[in-house]
Structure 1
């Protein structure tokens, strides 16, 4: 492991000052960063502990929630307003990792965990453009059952690992950021990048910039929502496919809907095409299937993961059918 310094920031201003040093990294729960440091994939020269930042979940007058970046995942999933008003988010968080990791991991850290695959970890035996830009991607022609079917590029076919982020994408969350020049906000669906020719650049964060909070919009129909994760085993496994969805009905017609997918792309995948097909249409099995097929029409499966296209299609349709029958 590369030698590094450690300092605990007292607030966001202190964190920005400490994090301005070249090679510095912000440390939340450390459940991803420390793991990558042990593998010598990440080699920060300085760690800035930001767990003293806000861990409050503020219920605002307009019905939205403001979630501090240092909020632990367990606290987020157990919060009354999250469980009752955004159950898809609570279920997504509890579907991720183990209870011990959720107790340590922070919201900001979860958002910033690196998109990765087994080839990314195999520093001595595999080529990886994310780890070493320009080196090549062995996953594209290797064992790629878990890899992307949407939005990938010849440079990288890894999938984003977070469950929580899929729910945030579906909800239309907004990321609050702070840097030396001030504060800004970014829609969550824009925050993570697709790989294109630079898979090593995963987010829109600027050097030294800090996530301070995440805002959930007031979305009353999100009370009728859920998260379904399809995986090889019942715990501590990344998704083959996951679906976060919320549904609003007007009688038997879809009035509004939110859908996002996990396990299929380099970033949490907002299913804009499926949503467009659904709005104003009858809430039937045929409509649900048609919407899912529209979203997956551009899928480009690899030699080991073609099954994901039908799996994602069926999972979207099944989740929507479940929500149709759910009491709002």
Structure 2
């Protein structure tokens, strides 16, 4: 049964990260009469500066803390009368998960469980009948990999995660589902494709490529560069989450995709061509000359593709950005803010694709 629900006081975990930051700005612009409390541990990918412009607004509060701190989460749920949790907080970089999986299991599995326990205590045990939502933001990587001819992932595709990151997210999805079915927690889950847009940490493929190309540095491409991903502009993702929270069915999962399958190499070619057109007199033209190929990473999934027909059919979701328009907007944002990426670009020797 489809419900209509309007969040009023939101706790956004990981709200200083890439997608979380964009969600906070999107939500407060769309619903200025609501209140957001951001909980973020400010690890390497979280930047308080992303949200600093909101400080002083009566409908915004930032809390520096960890989702593993269950007493803190319970305190925030009570004192802020939170009715909605939007759970973005996660370790999300595939390369990092290969070489250091412990942090991914701790944050993505134990952290999610800590939030669920806090929500159950405050929303179910202490306030029976209290209207609430727990929205869990997940990834298409839980479904594994596809061949060039396989149909796209649907919400009923069996889970087959291939990296420690994907396995940790798959585990968290199952825990969220269990809390809904066992205890009656009002949950929804979204599995998104690759996000891109403003505020993305500079180790990810698009901002890494922009920063390196602008400085005439090598852009590393794994293997043959023919790994295919469905690219989703971040505010299209946020519009999808908005629809799910307000009108989605409790206990359901919705795939959110951008209808933009691109091979990594094709994406970089398009970005190079955009930069050639913007800066024809640059000493780095043609920018394609800076593409280099590096050894493929272990267990690299060949293709992800999202079938988003369920959210389109049930909730009226339609992505507003084409890949070309979204990429141009993203490039403009980074060109206007060199301070966001210049200091960190030399730290990263490889790229990851997941938001």
- Structure with the higher helix share, 1 or 2: 2
TM-score where L is the length of structure 1: 0.28
Which structure's relative contact order is higher, taking Cα pairs within 8 Å and 6+ residues apart?
2
TM-score (ref. length: structure 2)? 0.27
